[in-house]
Structure 1
Amino acid sequence: MSTAVMSGPRLADIIGTGPWPGPAYDSLTAGISRAIGDGRIPVGARLPSEREAAAATGLSRTTTSRAFAKLREQGFVVTRRGSGSVVQLPEVPGGRIDHLLTPAGADEAEIDLTCTASVAPPWLLGAYERAVAQIHAYLPGTGYYPSGLPVLKELIAESYTTRGVRTAPDQILITSGAFGAVSIAVRALNEGRGRVLIESPTYPNAIATLEGAGASLIPYPLELSSAGHHWDIDAMDHIARQTRVRSAYLIPDFHNPTGALLPEEQRPELGAMLRRNSMVPIFDESLVELGLDGDPTPTPMAAFVPDSITAGSTSKIFWGGLRVGWMRIPTHRIEAMASTRLSLDLGAPVLEQLVAVELMRDHDMIVGEYRVKLRAARDSLAAQVRAHLPSWQVIVPSGGMALWCRLPEDRSGALAVAARRHGLSLVSGPNFAPAGGLDRWIRLPYTVSETQLGEVGPRLAAAWDDALKFTDRVPAGRARTVA
């Protein structure tokens, strides 16, 4: 858990400096509690002193004292001697969100918006047929390829080199999906221990994977403006220095769930910050090729942080059922990563690797068509939300597979429960929070069929009307499959 100390000016950057409608202490309390709920003030952070908070917000010491007292009463802050006022979340029925997921198929009449994943594309069967025709060449052997088939490693290495970071095939390790890569990396880097910097919000499977490897998560809350979510490198640097974190899991490319993209001009800055703090980051590039507005594929962060691990996957661009992922590894870490991998499994299936090879040979055509489809779906869903739910804040991302919508009230858990009555399956915001909060947010994938997508707006509006009638907060509970 984060032990970072928040300065007065940083608090003011997050909640503003007024004007404060009277009574001012109520307004200050509401501003801080909202920021905690949104994840912008992370759980475990130590708030500035009442005196420093007063100076930063332009309020009196008496006002901030009353606000801090109310935050303690509401359960958002606990004050301990010698530790100051430390942020926490109020106890709610059902307790903490369980980020370890339970796959479950949706009812046929239900629209499943729990996954950013699409059904198998029409060209997949042909790729399997071509792969089966080649499998005979591999049958005389044992079938174990712990580092992956050489032909697949060569194609992936070539793609990195083309994007701007020279890569040899030996630097590629084929894994069981992107999170096979993440699991290997975090275990090798932390040996089952250590602190890992992670964005908030983030992908629920990442939370489960990192915690399962024994990591202690240090959340960095993404910043929010009218233009969408973005990274504040100075704020991240501050957290890294205070917590002395030595590794990180980051999604700079069409971040899941916000869809945010780290601009090219910020990439050297982030790289310099990570190097300065001697951090070895794991970059998740699962969505890097899903830019939907015609922009070029981003430069790999490995070009700016040579001592970094990059995870990639076929799941988002081809089909999740392949379960073929990879990791790009610095040369001096290959042995450690390969050794750790052998403690988890002996390699990805040969047939699926051959299918991935066939699909990658048609990569430009397949991904190009998929981008067109996703762009239309994104625009359709955004228009529906704006038409049916005008009180929601929708910032359309330039890529990715989902909208990340801000609700006017903290009712994401209630919405997920109410949606079931209207044939809609949702994952509430707290599932994306490494340290809790985010009940004011909901992720809406636009990867379902065109027919189903057209029904999302009306069903969602009806569910929101029901959620507003709930008198008590409803815990989000355990999510279905989140991808």
Structure 2
Amino acid sequence: MAGSQPSQPLNGTGHVGRTLGSGQLATLLPDPTRARPVYRHLAQAISELILDGRIALHVRLPAERELAPALGVSRATVTAVYDLLRDSGFAHSRQGSGTWTALPAGRTPRGVTRLLGPRDTAIDLARAAPALPHRTLADALARVSPQLAEHVGTPGYHPYGLPELRAAIAERFTHRGLATVPDQILVTSGAQHALSLVLGLLCRPGDRVLVENPSYPNALEALRRARLRTVPLPVTDVGWDTGTVTSSLRRSVHRLAYLIPDFHNPTGCLMPAEQRARILRAAQHSATWMVVDETLADLALDVPAPRPFASFAAPGGSGQVITTGSMSKTHWAGLRIGWLRAPAQLVTELAGQRIATDMGGSVLDQLVALDLLERSAELLPTRLEQLRTQRAALTAALAEHLPHWTWQQPPGGLSLWADLGEPIAAELAERALDYGVRIEGGAYFATDPGVFAQRLRIPYTAPPDTLREAVHRMAAALADGLPSSAVTRRPHWIA
């Protein structure tokens, strides 16, 4: 978790723990005077933060005598809060070691439940991930079966990735305008895996990392868990401010910068070519590693597909750029196939980092991915046309049922970044569940506390009729009225 400090004692789980400061925790909590009894109100808020991942597990909570004045309550109240957290399984204590966050038996972190999806008939707009047609997967499996039989006689470990898949990904980069050889490619279990490997090799706790605000939530979570200090760069409806990015790179020492320049998640913005070149020059001068997420680069709906970010570097200037990509957004997340492109020596070091936890990906999945990549010219146009149709259905439904909401139509990607006009996104998302719609408020994509409370990310990955029904249900939830706390509650997010 960014901003927490190392703590030497073990926390009872075998891990060296971290401490959450009293001031930091106080900024995450709602006004304790707004509900009674106060101690139950605060304990509930802390347990929600733990479930959301905004407070990490195995973190030492502030001492009671420090937290009480920070919250403006008595020490007895804080004692009651901690007692209730321990009784409910959200904390445990060791004599002389303090009180530590925990997860009760049978409870699942919300980050996991978001990936698991709905357990009922709810329309799922919390995940921007398309499905793969059954026939497409069945045909690919039939074609790769003979190749799989040839691999069965081998050990099947490929820590760098299947050689033929590495070659195909390298050729894909070359075709897009960035000369690449297979030695510069590492096949991973998705782009998130690639990012985690990079952070584990290149970063140490406390390092400064530039990251867009808003940004991809799972990337933000990886940064928090690596205990990195995030430095936010604003991305508005019109994109990035070049001066802000370049001055941030020049003004301070940053270990790396994480950017999504292609149909940015969640805003949908596409970074112009001239801006990419200027940012790359600034990063090169400051010796900052650039981690560029291109998982959405192929999903160009209204513009030509962008060239790889690293191709805009001056000659010899792309050595500090690491590009990640995956099959998840263009094909199917269930394959768990991603990759990174980096200097060959760094790829070797990352492969060494990888085998400590993952000795290689599934050969079958890599063969299927290779088959799908080789058929991209046939499959991708159909996918893009489907997304255009779904985007049109979503925007038409919003204009009809929620005309006071505003958004910029993205030229590509998978979602809209809607402005609701007032800070009610979290409460609307909660109320929408009662109407059978799962969706995330803007704070889920934030690097800073209390921002994007008026925003919703609305993916257009579902069929048109489903999207129209989802908008109708959200409009009904809004018409039903939200709690008065919708405009008074202090939003919270741990940066």
* Short-chain TM bin: 0.7 to 0.9
- Per the TM alignment, residue 107 of structure 1 is displaced from its structure 2 partner at its CA by 4.0
Whether contact under 8 Å (2:420, 2:456) holds in the other structure is: yes
Asked whether 1:297 is paired with 2:305, we answer: yes
What is residue 427 of structure 2 aligned with on the other side? 414
Equivalent position of 2:37 in the other structure: none
Please point out which of 228, 231, 234 is paired with 2:240: 231
Range with greater deviation from structure 2 (417-426 or 92-101): 92-101
Which deviates the most, 384-393 or 156-165? 384-393
Distance 1:188 1:90 in 2: 31
- Displacement of 1:350: 0.4
Shift, 1:369, TM fit: 0.4
Query: Which residues in structure 2 correspond to 1:348-427 (within 5 Å)?
Result: 348-427=361-440
Separation in structure 2 between the aligned mates of residue 447 and residue 203 of structure 1, nearest angstrom: 17
Which of 160, 167, 185 lines up with 1:147 in the alignment? 160
- CA distance in structure 1 between the partners assigned to 2:430 and 2:369 by the alignment: 38
Unaligned stretches of 5+ in structure 1? 3-77, 79-85, 479-483
**Alignment of structure 1 residues 73-112 onto 2, 5 Å:** 91-92=29-30, 94=45, 96=49, 98=53, 101-103=111-113, 104-112=116-124
The aligned counterpart of 1:25 is none
Aligned-pair RMSD on alpha carbons?
A: 2.3
State the alpha-carbon separation in 2 of the partners of residues 128 and 230 from structure 1.
40
Aligned partner of 1:211 among 216, 220, 224:
224
Correspondence list, 1:84-233, <5 A: 91-92=29-30, 94=45, 96=49, 98=53, 101-103=111-113, 104-121=116-133, 122-222=135-235, 224=236, 228-233=237-242
Letter of the aligned partner of 2:310 in structure 1?
A
C-alpha contact (below 8 Å) 1:385/1:457 kept by paired residues: yes
Q: Name the amino acid aligned to 2:138.
A: L
Aligned to 2:80: none
Is residue 248 from structure 1 mapped to residue 257 from structure 2 by the alignment? yes
Secondary structure of 2:233's match?
A: strand
- Deviation string 1:335-365 (CA, Å, 9 cap, x unpaired) is 3222212223111100000000111111111
1:134 and 1:474 map into 2 onto residues whose CA distance is 58
Quick check: 2:431–2:482 contact (8 Å CA) kept in 1?
Answer: no
Task: Tell me if the contact between 1:396 and 1:403 (Cα under 8 Å) persists in the aligned partners.
Answer: yes
Partner of 1:447: 461
SS of residue paired to 1:448: coil
Amino acid at match of 2:301: L
Match of 1:458 in 2: 472
Q: 2:330 aligns to what?
A: 317
The question of whether the paired residues in 2 share the 8 Å contact of 1:171 and 1:331 is answered with: yes
State whether residues 293 and 325 of structure 2, in contact with CA within 8 Å, keep that contact through their aligned partners in structure 1: yes
**Could you say which residue in structure 2 is the equivalent of 1:326?**
339
Structure-1-length-normalised TM-score: 0.76
Higher relative contact order (Cα pairs below 8 Å, separated by 6+ residues): 1
Q: Residue 221 of structure 1: CA displacement?
A: 1.5
Question: Do the aligned partners of residues 158 and 280 (structure 1) sit closer, same or farther apart at CA in structure 2, a change above 3 Å counting?
Answer: same
> Aligned partners of 1:207 and 1:280: how far apart in 2?
17
User: Relative to structure 1, is the Cα distance of residues 89 and 191 closer, same or farther in structure 2, using a 3 angstrom cutoff?
Assistant: closer
Distance in 2 (alpha carbons) for counterparts of 1:253 and 1:331: 24
| Percent of matched pairs sharing the same residue | 36
Q: How far does residue 209 in structure 1 lie from its aligned partner after superposition?
A: 1.5
1:161 partner letter: T
Normalised to the residue count of structure 2, the TM-score between the two structures is 0.75
Mapped contact 1:186–1:213 kept (Cα < 8 A): yes
Q: Deviations over 1:186-209 (max 9, x none)?
A: 111114551111101001110111
Partner Cα distance (2:377, 2:491) in 1 = 39
In the alignment, the residues of structure 2 paired with residue 322 and residue 469 of structure 1 have an alpha-carbon distance, to the nearest angstrom, of 41
Question: Alpha-carbon deviation of 1:425?
Answer: 0.6
Per-residue CA deviation, residues 451-474 of structure 1 (Å, 9 max, x unaligned), is 311212211111222354534456
Assess, with a 3 A threshold, how the Cα gap between structure 1 residues 269 and 149 changes in structure 2: closer, same or farther: same
Shift of 1:229: 3.2
Looking at structure 1, the residues matched to 446 and 249 of structure 2 have their Cα atoms a distance apart, in angstroms, of: 19
Displacement, 1:475?
Answer: 7.9
1:396 Cα deviation after fit: 0.7
5+ long unaligned stretches in structure 2: 4-22, 31-41, 55-108
What secondary structure does 1:292 align onto? coil
> In the aligned structure 2, how far is the partner of 1:238 from the partner of 1:466?
46
Cα distance, 1:387 vs structure 2: 1.8
| 1:180 CA drift (Å) | 0.7
The answer to whether the 8 Å contact 1:413/1:428 transfers is yes
Shift of 1:366: 0.9
1:139 Cα offset (Å): 1.1
How far 1:477 sits from its partner (Å)? 9.4
